[in-house]
Amino acid sequence: MRTIKRVGIIVNPKISTVPVVIQELENWFRERNIEFELDNETASIVNRQGIPKSEIPKCCDLIVAMGGDGTLLSVARILKTHLVPILAVNLGSLGFLTEITLEEMFPTLELVIAGKATLQQRMMIDVSVIRAGKCINSYQGLNDVVINKGVLARIIDINVKIDNNFVATYKADGIIVGTPTGSTAYTLSAGGSILYPTLDAMVVTPIASHTLTFRSLVVPDSSVVELSLKPTQESIFMTVDGQIGLNLQGKDRVSVKKSSNYVELIQSPEKSFFDILRQKLKWGER
């Protein structure tokens, strides 16, 4: 790892313990002569001067993201081409991605400062929405892209192509294209496969398929997955990482492929991926 000279701190402001945790973190960095920056929203909680969230990756050697998985997902998308390691600290509940507990935060930071922390690279996806032959919006995600029906919409028909090969027309409430990281998110609840986080693959999973034989499909990360709607489809919405997105129109196409950018997450020194699965999913318990 690079030498840590300046750290960005981004937290979920809705958690009541945040001010105390920020103060402890600031004191810890001051004692070690490490500079730190707070994004504007975080700074407002403790009456400090902050900087725009999007500027954090440009000036910091490490980002401490505290909250739940949603906090980490929002941080991952602002990195763009800046490869800054993220220490994701779980202040929420489930937290598959924010695997570092509050108790583990400072011991793990000691490892980071000493250059002994373990980093894990996670792939991201590039999502493009094509309308009338033109790309009207593009997004980047760490977890997944989801196309689903609106509240009043019926089952929707989604044509799926992989590397320009027609797969099938999925009749379902929607469809998910997820990364290995996202396989423990919406994909998991829809009955999709759990992928090891560093696997070179994507997973395509229908949501409440009308045809019971449709199953989750794992494809190489070199694949381009194209999802298209019928001209008459209405009230269809696309979301990326469950946080950003737009309303789709009939004949829209959504292209999903592996991004050239990726995220580096600092791993817990105490837990493996399988430890986390057992803990979060209660495997082996009665």
Which residues does the annotation mark as catalytic? 69
Residue 113: its H or E element: helix 102-113
Q: Residue with structure tokens 């294209």?
A: 177
Taking the C-alpha atoms of residue 259 and residue 248, their distance in angstroms, rounded to an integer, is 22
Token representation of residue 249: 């129109």
Two tokens, residue 45: 């909680």
Beta bridge partners of 170: 158
Closest CA to 71 of 84, 55, 48, 87: 87
For residue 75, give the H/E element and its range: helix 69-79
CB atoms < 10 A from the CB of 98, how many? 24
Task: Tell me the backbone φ, ψ of residue 188, rounded to 5 degrees.
Answer: -60, -45
